[in-house]
Copies of this chain bind each other. A is one copy, B any other.
């Protein structure tokens, strides 16, 4: 807006940045202004990092994780338990589980969940590649770490049916009260699930 028209590099940059999730036009403007104060220290390194990532990062041909190497660093890691595969909806979930340092096996990214409304059928998800991985006979347990939504539950049911013939053990994440969660703000579904799945102490 400071300068003239749509071919203005500042306006163009603000427009692109404001399309990122979490950034509105206002914060995109602030970010661009901050970077323009030190273009060599802030803008060029970011430009370079974006270009490098765009060129280097690809979905892992084995699990679907995004990484600069294929197979990805997790699939290559010799310390990972290769008989344990955690099935997730997307890469964001894989990253969240990695941050929790809770899973010591491998992953498989479905690329979505079954959704009648969204028009997502089994053929849209990475289910055949998962079956192919299991057919190699090394996997002993598949953990379904799918979202606790209707579509997530539908997908889990479908996968359980599809995986049964393989003889692999299929488990899913426990449902219950989140750590640090106050009971009075929890929804009824979670409370009911936690009560039903209660354990002896």
Contacts and interface: CB of A to CB of B under 8 A. Distances in A.
Interface of A: 1-4, 8-10, 12-13, 16-17, 19-23, 27-36, 39-40, 42-57, 65-69, 72-74, 77, 91-92, 94-95, 98-99
Contacts of A4: 73, 77
When A and B form their complex, which 6 residue pairs have the shortest distance between CB atoms, in order from nearest?
Answer: A22-B27, A47-B50, A43-B54, A39-B54, A3-B73, A20-B31
29 contacts: A1-B99, A2-B66, A2-B73, A3-B67, A4-B73, A4-B77, A8-B73, A10-B67, A12-B52, A12-B53, A20-B31, A21-B30, A22-B23, A22-B27, A22-B30, A22-B31, A23-B31, A33-B91, A33-B92, A35-B50, A35-B53, A36-B57, A36-B66, A39-B55, A40-B54, A43-B54, A44-B50, A46-B47, A50-B50
Copies in the complex: 2
B50 A2 contact: no
Contacts of A57: 9-10, 36, 39
B67 A16 contact: no
Given A35-B54, A36-B66, 6 more contacts: A9-B53, A13-B46, A22-B28, A22-B31, A29-B95, A47-B47
A52 B10 CA distance: 9
A59 to B, nearest CB: 9
Given A4-B73, A91-B2, A53 B45 contact: no
A33 to B, nearest CB: 6
Contacts of A19: 42
Contacts of A47: 46-48, 50-51, 54
Contacts of A66: 2, 10, 33, 36
Contact of A9 (B21, B46, B56): B56
